[in-house]
Amino acid sequence: MTVLRELWVGHPARLTRLLRVGLLGLAVIALVVWTVFPFFWILLTSLKQPLDVIAAPPKILFEPTLDNYAGIFIGRQRGAYASARPDFPLFFLNSIIISGGAVLLSFLAGIPASFALARYRFQFKEQLAFLFMSFRFAPFIAFLIPLYILFQRTGLYNTYHGLILAYQIITLPFTIWMLRSFFMEIPTEVEEAAKIDGCSWWGVLTKVILPLSLPGMAVTLILGFMFSWNAFNYPLMLAGRQTFPVTVGAIQFISYEQVLWGQMAAASLVAVVPQLILSLFVQKYIVRGLTMGAIR
């Protein structure tokens, strides 16, 4: 330590800069490896033939194959494994319908609610806000059993609308909370101006608030879509074969005979693709959005 200190005193600027650059570089490399390596390994696994998957020591160089991807899409495979079923595209579609529908419904209910919470004062306002929020923190088990029984009795089981309603537990609190923060961000002067011009609350909402919070809404939409997409436990019990999303579909590759690691890896990657694409488009906004929500 004293050596460093002496060096520091001697050549402070150069040394500190070198150290800084070196440390920064190391940190960046560490971060990249830590984040990306699992993806890399899964990609490799999805391209491996069964023997290569179980090889010990693990293989980094091998003869790649597209059989796993073929297997999950077309359901038949040359090679060692018996067929997986060609249901994966259906699961994909289900995920899109359910997640999209859930977020849409949350927005339809959430926009007016957030507007009310952001701009008006009324009784029980904070309590209601907290109540909405607290649902985000409930363990799924607390809801799953009664929901399952309710769904069976009311015929909502294994339906798109049933699942979209169930997913509100995931998306609605989040949507209201985020939108409320974004709406509160907007300075009241603009609204005052609009009101002087004669706008009713509807005008204020549609002409001022919504346009100004478009980026925030986009972020909320995307994050909400993501949370729904990743849900596993609700659809496992509340969906049937026709409405399973990809998260449930991915576990089908735990076969009795052998875990089809290759196919599971392929399925996992495919399941993640839409969100990866989305995130590339909007990463700037997500960062801003996450924190705008934070300020309130």
Partner 1 sequence: MPSQAGRLRAGHRTAMLPYLLMLPALLLLVGMLYPFCLGVYYSLTSYFLQYPHLFRFIGLGNYVKLPGDPLFAYSVQFTLVYTAVAVLIQVSLGVGVALLLHARIVGRGVLRAMMLMPLMMPPVITALMWKVMMASTKAGILNYLLGLVGLGPVNWLGSVNGAIVSVLIIDTWGNLPFVSLILLGGLQSLPYEPYEAAFVDGAGSVEVFRYITLPLLKPFIILATTFRVMDSLRIFDVIYATTVGGPADATMNLHMRAFFYAFQWYQMGMGMAYAMVLLALVFVASYVLMGYWRRAAEQTEL
Partner 2 sequence: MRTRLRCFVWVGLVSMVALVCLASIGEALAGESPGLAYFRQAKINWRQFEGQKLTIGLNKHQYTESLLPLIGEFEALTGIKVEYLILPENEYGAKLTADLSQQRGEFTVIMAGAMRNWGYVPPGWMVPLDDFLKNPKLTDPSWYKLEDFFPGLIAANRWNGKFAGGTGEGPLWSIPVMSESYILPYRKDIFDQYKIKVPTTYEEMAEAARQVKQKAGIDGLVARGTANFPTIATGYLSGVKSYTDGKWAELDEKMNAQFTDPRVIKFSQIWTDMLRESGPANWANMTWYDGMETFAAGQAGMYPDCDFFAATYEDPKKSKVAGKVGYALLPAGPGGSTYSGLFTWALGMSKATKNKEAAWLFIQWATSPRTLLNATVEYKNYNPTRVSVMNDSRTQKVMGGWGNGTYLKTVQENLKTARIAWVPNPERPRLGDTWARALHEMYFKRLTPEQAMQRANDEVNKIFTEIGLRK
Residue 203, exposed/middle/buried by CB under 10 A (0-12, 13-18, 19+)?
A: middle
Q: Which residue in the set 83, 154, 188, 291 belongs to the binding site for partner 2 (CB under 8 A)?
A: 83
Site string (131-160) toward partner 2, x via CB under 8 A: -----------------xx--xx---xx--
Of 47, 45, 83, 77, nearest to 65 by C-alpha is: 47
Is 199 a binding residue for partner 2 by CB under 8 A? The answer is no
In 3D, which of 22, 82, 114 has the Cα closest to residue 257?
Answer: 82
Among 15, 42, 76, 275, binds partner 2 (CB under 8 A): 76
Please report, for residues 16, 58, 73, 171, the alpha-carbon distance to residue 227 in angstroms, rounded to integers and kept in the order given.
43, 33, 25, 7
| Interaction between residue 22 and partner 2 (CB under 8 A) | no
Letters for 162-201 (x = contact with partner 1 by CB under 8 A, - = none) are ---x--xx--x---x------------------------x
Q: In terms of residues, how long is the chain?
A: 296
Residue 242 CA, chain-centre distance (Å), reads 23
The residues that bridge with 149 in the sheet, in sequence order, are none
The dihedral sign for the CA sequence 139, 174, 100, 265: negative
Do 213 and 179 touch, CB atoms closer than 8 A?
Answer: yes
In whole angstroms, give the CA distance from residue 189 to residue 114.
19
Cβ-based nearer residue to partner 1, 76 or 194: 194
Spatial contact of 234 and 144, defined as CB atoms under 8 Å apart: yes
Residues 90-109: x/- map of binding to partner 1 (CB under 8 A)? ---------------x--xx
3 state SS of 245: coil
8 and 16 Cβ atoms separated by less than 8 Å? yes
Q: Which does 36 bind (CB under 5 to 8 A by kind): partner 2, partner 1, none?
A: partner 1
Q: Is 39 in the site for partner 1 (CB under 8 A)?
A: yes
Q: Is 247 a residue that touches partner 1 (CB under 8 A)?
A: yes
Among 7, 190, 236, 272, binds partner 2 (CB under 8 A): 236
Q: Residues 60-79 vs partner 1: string with x where CB under 8 A?
A: --------------------
Q: Is 34 a residue that touches partner 1 (CB under 8 A)?
A: yes
Residue 66 in the binding site for partner 2 (CB under 8 A): no
| Residue number with CB closer to partner 1 (24 or 74) | 24
- End-to-end C-alpha distance for the chain, whole angstroms: 44
Residues that bind partner 2 (CB under 8 A): 49-51, 54-56, 73-76, 79-80, 82-83, 85-90, 92-93, 96, 148-149, 152-153, 157-158, 236-237, 240-242, 251-252, 254-259, 274, 277-278, 281
